[in-house]
Amino acid sequence: MGMTITEKILAAHAGRPAVEPGEIVTCKVDLVLGNDVTAPVAIKEFRKIGVDRVFDPERVALVASHFAPNKDIAAATQAKEMRDFAREQGIRHHYDVGDMGIEHALLPEKGLTVPGQVIIGADSHTCTYGAVGAFSTGVGSTDMAAAMATGTAWLKVPETHRFVLRGKLGRWVSGKDLILYLIGQIGVDGALYAAMEFDGPAIRSLSMEARLTVTNMAIEAGAKSGIISPDEVTLAYLRKRAQYPLRLYRSDDDARFARTYEFDVSRLEPQVALPFMPENTRPISEVGDVPVDQVFIGSCTNGRIEDLRIAASLLKGNKVHDGVRCLVIPATQGVYLQAMREGLLEVFLEAGAAVSTPTCGACLGGHMGVLAEGERCLSTTNRNFPGRMGHPKAEVYLASPAVAAATAITGRIAHPEEVARHVA
């Protein structure tokens, strides 16, 4: 019996010829990630283990992403604890204000995530890196501490659910729409502790930016990880940025999948997830007349340069609707710089949007766009649970950057086609 790509990666890192779903294995890790919220807890636990040095300072990444620039004294203290630890341990991949970004956009951009790796991170959206063909998953801060000390992690081998998407995507249909649609089909627990493997012509047609969006939200279906086998798109993305050797795997033809789903997405509309679950997804034609108070374009899901280009193409020559706050936050300093060079920031500012430095703050309701009671936001983020972006009685709707831009212009959730007449 053959193995899936996930099983092959875990077997290789466990030093075994084969593994099966349900087995507990101890794997060598290639990269350990923490941020300014989770790393300080891990550092305290690391001190208790009784070792002086991390297993490899080149294999630990620390990113000030959630409350940086610091919003208060507590946030500043957390960032300082991480900064001091990075200096003490000689951790080269420490990214602070001026060089940082939203972690799950920054690490692929920096070439730290490559095919065949095992990556663990003290953040649930660590599953993002499966887009390059790595096994990546979120863990708790204590597991992060153990991995920093030993270079290993114990894992239960997940079963694999395969998603084959066929058809040519419509003009305004993106990776965000695909993953929202799939979560709507299977539910937020539809892939519980499974590896979601994405394949098919529709997936292969996606850019790397769009693939990162798809795997980013695997956790929203309850998955342990999301993964896409590497192809030429992957290799082209990594050719000038990969900092580690590539190990290419793909699932065997006779690999065993716990479930296989096949969808023809050629007629798929842009999707919107209504409050208060990512699974509460509808095609935009069925959303109805929903006015909004705020539009947010950014996050580890949709704050990359491709996302900003799409939003700017619609906002160019238009104005943000009266009474709507439109916030645009590039995911990394690199994205910010590229957007500036391309004139995208000028487009956003002339349209009446606010543009800010990279941060996760708005997505998690920490700072930079917190919602008040009764307010409604159309967001390109990944979660819309009660209180996710602020007050528990605020409402968050999830959609793509194209839908977000159209919504900012019209003041209500809108199809991009409504404002796209001037877009080439």
pLDDT per residue as tens digits for the range 40-52: 999 999 999 989 9
How many C-beta neighbours within 10 Å does residue 87 have?
10
Mean pLDDT computed over 225-251: 96
pLDDT at 361: 81
Cα–Cα dist 296/320, whole Å: 12
The single-letter code of the amino acid at 297 is I
- Res. 423: pLDDT tops 70: no
Helix (H) / strand (E) containing 95: strand 93-95
Q: Which of 65, 61, 5 is nearest to 37 (CA)?
A: 65
Helix (H) / strand (E) containing 87: helix 73-89
pLDDT at 247: 96
- Res. 424: pLDDT tops 60: no
The vertex-220 CA angle with 256 and 328, nearest 5°, equals 135
Q: By mean pLDDT, which of 73-77, 164-168, 211-215, 397-401 is the weakest?
A: 73-77
- Tokens standing for 179? 């993953």
CA 366 to chain centre: 18
pLDDT tens across 88-142, in order? 999 999 999 988 899 999 999 999 999 999 999 999 999 999 999 999 999 999 9
How many C-beta neighbours within 10 Å does residue 52 have?
10
Cα–Cα dist 356/372, whole Å: 20
- Cβ neighbours for 389, distance < 8 A, ≥ 6 positions apart: 296, 362, 363, 364, 365, 369, 370, 371, 377, 379, 381, 396
pLDDT at 114: 97
Yes or no: say if 248 and 115 are a contact pair by the CB < 8 Å rule. yes
- Res. 389: pLDDT tops 90: no
pLDDT tier at 367, thresholds 50, 70, 90: confident
pTM of the full predicted structure? 0.94
The percent of residues in the chain predicted with pLDDT above 90, rounded, is 92
pLDDT tier at 58, thresholds 50, 70, 90: very high
Yes or no: say if 315 and 343 are a contact pair by the CB < 8 Å rule. no
Yes or no: say if 52 and 89 are a contact pair by the CB < 8 Å rule. no
Mean pLDDT computed over 313-327: 96
Kindly list the structural domains of the chain, giving each domain's residue range(s) and its CATH number in brackets, ordered by start: 5-241+257-263 (3.30.499.10), 273-419 (3.30.499.10)
Cα–Cα dist 151/164, whole Å: 34
CA 224 to chain centre: 14
